[in-house]
Amino acid sequence: MASDTFHHVRDFPFFELPHGVGAEFENHGHMAYGIQLPEILGFQITKFMILQVVAAGLTLLIFRGLSKRVQTGEPTRGRFWNFWEVIALYIRDEVVRPTIGDHHHDEHHGGDSHGDQSAKAGHDADRFLPFIWSCFFYILFCNLLGAVPMLGSPTGAISVTIPLALAVFAHNIVAGTRQFGFVGFLANQCPPMDVPPAMKVILVPMIWVLEMLGLVIKHSVLAIRLFANIMAGHTVVGVMLGFIAADGVAGTGMAWLVTPASIFGQVAIGLLELFVAFLQAYVFSFLATMFLSSCVHSH
């Protein structure tokens, strides 16, 4: 047994395979079998790196195909393509457009390219759709890869979710800066206050610092909650299966009861994990949209 309790949810420089398949090597005090990943220019390639490339590739392939079918102007046909179209439309119509609203910001840009694109799309929030869609589907595929045996969910590692949260933070800061200008964006973080000037001198700096700190904390939560939820789900699955090995080591003679109960629990949790994969991608995208809305609208 592995000495590391969270062994199966961690990132490694190899893909571990069933006993006897692939090369043999030592991993955290026990012998494992699998495929070792190479170093490129002194940089170690890891399992989660490969899986993130796979998730990005799936996102690109599916939505390039979907976009080509939508561009024809004809209804999308086929259950496979309809499935992804329904999800994309749900994110657009139930998350992005209602949260950001249809408030054209051309008065701040004087008819720039962003304003022209918004007008063509018919809804101001649509200019943010590519980024939110990319976040949702990339995270969804990262989550779903964890349902494939011997793989794992890259989003179960904080080293993956932190860059995702930083990407959202940077995108929202840029969007707010384009909307109000850099100085205007910073000033917009403090709400208007109908108080005497003497009190403003004290309150405005304090509230501005708190609001900026809150902006950083809100985006940090994106990384922590996604990582915690995905890791926790896979850990529970590992614990369920670990009962079988624990019973074998202890020699209680209860394998006839422990084994089927553990397998049933693992299957039930696995089905729940499929739902959680979609739910966590939705929650991340919804929160990212909320934070984006607060950056492009007046406080």
Structure token pair of residue 39? 């170093």
- Per-residue pLDDT tens for 183-241? 888 888 887 777 777 787 888 888 888 988 988 999 999 999 999 888 877 676 666 66
Specify whether 12 is located in the same domain as 105. Answer: no
d(CA 22, CA 89) in angstroms, rounded, equals: 43
Question: pTM score > 0.85 for this model?
Answer: no
Structure token pair of residue 247? 């019973």
Specify whether 23 is located in the same domain as 148. Answer: no
d(CA 248, CA 97) in angstroms, rounded, equals: 55
d(CA 48, CA 68) in angstroms, rounded, equals: 30
**Residues forming a β-bridge with 27:** 30
How confident is residue 86, by pLDDT bands cut at 50, 70 and 90?
very high
- Per-residue pLDDT tens for 25-58? 666 566 667 788 888 888 888 889 999 999 999 9
Specify whether 227 is located in the same domain as 94. Answer: yes
- Please tell me the predicted confidence (pLDDT) of residue 30: 63
The torsion region of residue 101 among left (phi > 0), alpha (psi -120 to 50) and beta comes to: left
| pLDDT of 260 over the 80 cut | no
Question: What whole-number percentage of the chain has pLDDT above 70?
Answer: 76
Structure token pair of residue 189? 């973080």
Specify whether 22 is located in the same domain as 151. Answer: no
Specify whether 7 is located in the same domain as 125. Answer: no
Q: What residues have CB less than 8 Å from 12, skipping those under 6 apart?
A: 27, 46, 47
Q: Which residue stretches of 91-157 are H helix?
A: 97-100, 106-109, 113-121, 129-144
d(CA 190, CA 204) in angstroms, rounded, equals: 7
Q: Which residue stretches of the chain are H helix?
A: 47-71, 79-90, 97-100, 106-109, 113-121, 129-144, 158-180, 182-188, 197-250, 255-296
Residue 134 lies in domain: 46-296
- Please tell me the predicted confidence (pLDDT) of residue 104: 53
Long-range contacts for 263-268 (Cβ within 8 Å, ≥24 apart)? 265/240, 266/237, 266/240, 266/241
Specify whether 165 is located in the same domain as 17. Answer: no
| Amino acid code (one letter) for 292 | L
Specify whether 69 is located in the same domain as 104. Answer: yes
Specify whether 63 is located in the same domain as 138. Answer: yes
| pLDDT of 107 over the 50 cut | no
Specify whether 19 is located in the same domain as 59. Answer: no
Structure token pair of residue 254? 């209860």
Q: Which of 210, 91, 96, 217 is nearest to 165 (CA)?
A: 217
- Please tell me the predicted confidence (pLDDT) of residue 264: 74
Structural domains counted in the chain: 2
d(CA 185, CA 8) in angstroms, rounded, equals: 44
d(CA 1, CA 5) in angstroms, rounded, equals: 9
Specify whether 51 is located in the same domain as 12. Answer: no
Specify whether 50 is located in the same domain as 10. Answer: no
Q: What is the mean pLDDT of the chain?
A: 80
User: Pairing mode, if any, of strands 23-27 and 39-40?
Assistant: unpaired
Specify whether 117 is located in the same domain as 221. Answer: yes
d(CA 118, CA 127) in angstroms, rounded, equals: 6
Q: What residues have CB less than 8 Å from 22, skipping those under 6 apart?
A: 15, 33, 34, 35
